[in-house]
Amino acid sequence: MTVGYTVFDTPIGACGLAWRDGAVVGTALPGSTAERTRAHLAKRFPDAVDSPVPEELRAVVDDVVALLSGEARDLRAAPLDYRDVPEFNRRAYDVARAIPPGKVLTYGDIAHQMGAPGSAQAVGQAMGSNPFPIIVPCHRVLGAGKNTGGFSAPGGVETKRRMLVIEGAFPEEPTLF
């Protein structure tokens, strides 16, 4: 089946969702404009068709909008198409999906939960190539010492921090402590 995608508004900008056969194949955090988000999705999925969201995925879009509005939402039920995702990454994403809004884990925490201590760097690489940001909440995964570290999505670390503030994991303003 052809990949479909859509761009939708959220409180932090236009996000995107791509799907195939009733499952999400990718998401896009907001770019500076809806057109940039659309262009990002079109580049990732060159044969995709800009389409209305299928009814079976409407709740995913609604939940992403609600989550980015500050409502606690559980996106673990969102169906993901893992067919192009390496097994290690899939396992890391499954652990990350269990992190509730307002909470964080480190890359090392995820490695330990996967039964792969010492693979924090590999977990970081998996999060950096996450095709499902927000649904797989890689923004809730931090470096050692709860450092925000890098974030490859549009807006970088500022977007990550903004999402964590919305979810209540970080204070509104940075403090000395």
Positions annotated as catalytic residues are: 138
Residue 164 CA from chain centroid, whole number: 12
Please measure the distance between the N-terminal and C-terminal CA atoms of the chain and give it in whole angstroms. Answer: 51
Which 3 state secondary structure label does DSSP give 58?
A: helix
The stretches of the chain forming alpha helices (DSSP H) are: 34-44, 58-67, 87-97, 107-113, 120-128, 156-167
Give, to the nearest 10 degrees, the angle between helix 87-97 and helix 120-128. Answer: 90
Rg over CA atoms, the chain: 16
Q: Output the CA–CA distances (angstroms, integers) from residue 133 to 13, 49, 66, 71, 142, in the order listed.
A: 14, 20, 15, 17, 14
